[in-house]
Amino acid sequence: MITSKEYRERIKALKPNVYMDGELITREDPRLEPGMNVIALTYDLPHEEQYERVFTATSHLSQEKINRFCHIHRSPDDLLKKQEMTRLYCQKSGGCIQRCMGVDAMNALEVITHQVDQVHQTEYHERFLDYLRYFQEHDLCANCAQTDVKGDRKKRPHQQADPDLYLRVIERGKDGIVVRGAKAHNTIAPYADEIIVIPTRFLTPEESDWAVAFAIPADTEGVKLICRPTAFRPRILLDAPISHFGDVESLTIFDDVFVPWERVFLCGEQEFGGALALLFALYHRHSYTGCKPATSDVLMGMAALVAEYNGIEQEKHVQHKLAEMIGVAELVYAAGIAAGVQSQQAPSGTYVPEVVYANTGRRHAGESIYREYEIVADLAGGLAATLPLEGDFISEETGPLLAKYMMRNPEISAEDQHRCFRLINDVVCSAIGGLTLIAGLHGGGSPVMEDITLLKNYDMEAKKKIAKHLAGIHS
Ligand X SMILES: Cc1cc2nc3c(=O)[nH]c(=O)nc-3n(C[C@H](O)[C@H](O)[C@H](O)COP(=O)(O)OP(=O)(O)OC[C@H]3O[C@@H](n4cnc5c(N)ncnc54)[C@H](O)[C@@H]3O)c2cc1C
Would you give the DSSP letter of residue 349? S
Nearer to ligand X, 305 or 439 (CB): 439
Nearer to ligand X, 64 or 206 (CB): 206
Query: Which of 145, 332, 337, 432 is in the footprint of ligand X by CB under 6 A?
Result: 145
The vertex-101 CA angle with 95 and 104, nearest 5°, equals 125
How far does Cα 289 stand from its chain's mean position? Answer: 11
* Least distance CB 292 / ligand X (angstroms): 13
100 binds ligand X (CB under 6 A): no
435 binds ligand X (CB under 6 A): yes
Q: Which residues contact 224 (CB under 8 A, 6 or more apart)?
A: 17, 19, 252, 253, 255
Query: Which of 121, 153, 396, 410 is in the footprint of ligand X by CB under 6 A?
Result: 153
144 binds ligand X (CB under 6 A): yes
How far does Cα 7 stand from its chain's mean position? Answer: 19
Buried b / exposed e along 333-358 (16+ C-beta atoms within 10 A) = bbbbbbbbeebeebebebbbbbbbbb
* Least distance CB 38 / ligand X (angstroms): 13
Question: Pattern of binders to ligand X over 243-282, x per CB under 6 A?
Answer: ------x---------------------------------
| CA distance linking residue 314 with residue 240, whole number of Å | 28
Nearer to ligand X, 144 or 325 (CB): 144
167 binds ligand X (CB under 6 A): no
* Least distance CB 373 / ligand X (angstroms): 15
439 binds ligand X (CB under 6 A): yes
442 binds ligand X (CB under 6 A): yes
The answer to whether 440 touches 295, Cβ cutoff 8 Å, is: yes
Number of residues that bind ligand X (CB under 6 A): 22
Q: Which residues contact 48 (CB under 8 A, 6 or more apart)?
A: none
404 binds ligand X (CB under 6 A): no
* Selection from 163, 161, 167 nearest residue 148 by Cα: 167
Query: Which of 13, 323, 448, 460 is in the footprint of ligand X by CB under 6 A?
Result: 448
| CA distance linking residue 64 with residue 67, whole number of Å | 10
| CA distance linking residue 400 with residue 414, whole number of Å | 10
**Which of the stretches 116-124, 137-145, 318-326, 370-378 binds ligand X when contact is defined by CB under 6 A?**
137-145
* Least distance CB 283 / ligand X (angstroms): 13
Buried b / exposed e along 48-71 (16+ C-beta atoms within 10 A) = eeebeebbbbebbeeeeebbbbbb
In single-letter form, the type of residue at position 248 comes to: V
Query: Which of 136, 187, 208, 348 is in the footprint of ligand X by CB under 6 A?
Result: 187
159 binds ligand X (CB under 6 A): no
101 binds ligand X (CB under 6 A): yes
**Which of the stretches 38-46, 146-154, 420-428, 458-466 binds ligand X when contact is defined by CB under 6 A?**
146-154
Query: Which of 146, 243, 270, 295 is in the footprint of ligand X by CB under 6 A?
Result: 146
| CA distance linking residue 219 with residue 203, whole number of Å | 29
443 binds ligand X (CB under 6 A): yes
Nearer to ligand X, 117 or 450 (CB): 450
* Selection from 90, 86, 102, 89 nearest residue 141 by Cα: 102
Residues within the interface to ligand X (CB under 6 A): 101, 143-147, 150, 153-154, 183, 185-187, 249, 435, 438-439, 442-443, 445-446, 448
